């Protein structure tokens, strides 16, 4: 897979998973961030080539590459058991997020909030693409991402293993105060257009809505998810 952008390449070098095979940087471009990439690559024995801006743009398939492109081994999804063996307390499940920029932003928020595993459906959902990696600012490199064939069955499996399922939806009747943040939690966020599917809602122990004090009716997916996740983290820490 090709990834591009300063932050995704730096985070890929830091995580070392998946392995970076080669890096290309625009010839004649410099700066502390590009120099940091060169130094990290040298320390890991990763080849760096300097090419024209046109070559970099062609490799990235976009002009928004920030003068650096890298080829990595296939972004590997993990499996449910690999996530659960670490005894996680906070998981995020995405019910049909189709826009790669939304998915990337959600992954960045999840990593920052300490989410220990993210689950995305194999159908009617965006997967891990170069655009998603860029939109996540490389955060995906530090996350365990599971692609599941049946989200509802995954929820049932998690509930049987002791997780409480918290859905986030603007029509939810529960509040954050109803949720015991100290329990193992699986937070479910719906897609851009339909929110939580009805069958998914039926498998939630709580469906939470965020109070909207202003005149707008809803928040961006990643913003709403961030509010919920950080509130749960704050409650867990007793703040």
Give the whole-angstrom CA distance, residue 14 versus residue 27. 23
All CATH 3.40.1280.10 domain ranges of the chain, comma separated, are: 80-236
- Coil, strand or helix at 26: strand
Give the whole-angstrom CA distance, residue 121 versus residue 149. 6
Residue 170 is predicted with a pLDDT of 80
Residue 74 is predicted with a pLDDT of 66
23 token code pair: 């890096």
Q: CA separation (Å) from 7 to 14, 116, 134, 237?
A: 10, 21, 8, 29
Residue 210 is predicted with a pLDDT of 83
Residue 115 is predicted with a pLDDT of 95
- Binned average pLDDT, 10 residues per bin, the chain of 239 residues: 90 80 90 92 91 92 91 80 93 93 94 94 88 90 92 95 92 81 92 84 91 76 90 82
Place of tokens 């339909």: 194
Residue 181 is predicted with a pLDDT of 83
Task: Give the orientation angle of helix 221-236 with respect to helix 100-112, to 10 degrees.
Answer: 10
Residue 75 is predicted with a pLDDT of 63
All CATH 3.30.1330.30 domain ranges of the chain, comma separated, are: 2-72
Residue 30 is predicted with a pLDDT of 83
CATH topology of domain 2-72: 60s Ribosomal Protein L30; Chain: A; (3.30.1330)
162 token code pair: 């002791």
Write the DSSP string, 147-160: EES-HHHHHHHHHH
Q: Is 148 exposed, middle or buried (0-12, 13-18, 19+ CB in 10 A)?
A: buried
Contacts of 100 (CB under 8 A, 6+ apart): 126, 129, 131, 132, 135
Supply the CATH classification number for the domain 80-236. 3.40.1280.10
């Amino acid at each position: 897979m090709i990834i591009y952008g300063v932050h995704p390449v730096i985070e890929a070098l830091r995580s070392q998973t998946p392995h970076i095979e080669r890096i290309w940087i625009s010839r004649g471009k410099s700066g502390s961030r590009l120099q940091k990439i060169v130094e990290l690559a040298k320390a890991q024995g990763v080849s760096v080539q300097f090419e024209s801006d046109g070559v970099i743009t062609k490799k990235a398939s976009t002009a928004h590459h920030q003068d650096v492109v890298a080829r990595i081994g296939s972004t590997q999804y993990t499996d449910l058991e690999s996530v659960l063996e670490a005894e996680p307390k906070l998981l995020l499940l995405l019910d049909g997020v189709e826009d790669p920029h939304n998915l990337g932003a959600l992954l960045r928020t999840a990593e920052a909030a300490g989410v220990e595993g993210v689950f995305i459906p194999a159908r009617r959902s965006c997967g891990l693409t170069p655009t998603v990696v860029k939109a996540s600012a490389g955060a995906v490199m530090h996350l365990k991402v599971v692609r599941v064939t049946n989200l509802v069955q995954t929820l049932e499996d998690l509930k049987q293993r002791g997780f409480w399922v918290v859905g986030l939806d603007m029509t939810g009747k529960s509040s954050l105060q109803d949720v015991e943040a100290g329990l193992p939690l699986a937070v479910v966020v719906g897609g851009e257009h339909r929110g939580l599917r009805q069958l998914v809602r039926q498998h939630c122990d709580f469906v939470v809505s965020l109070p909207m004090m202003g005149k707008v009716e809803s928040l961006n997916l990643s913003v709403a998810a961030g509010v919920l996740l950080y509130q749960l983290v704050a409650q867990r820490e007793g703040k």
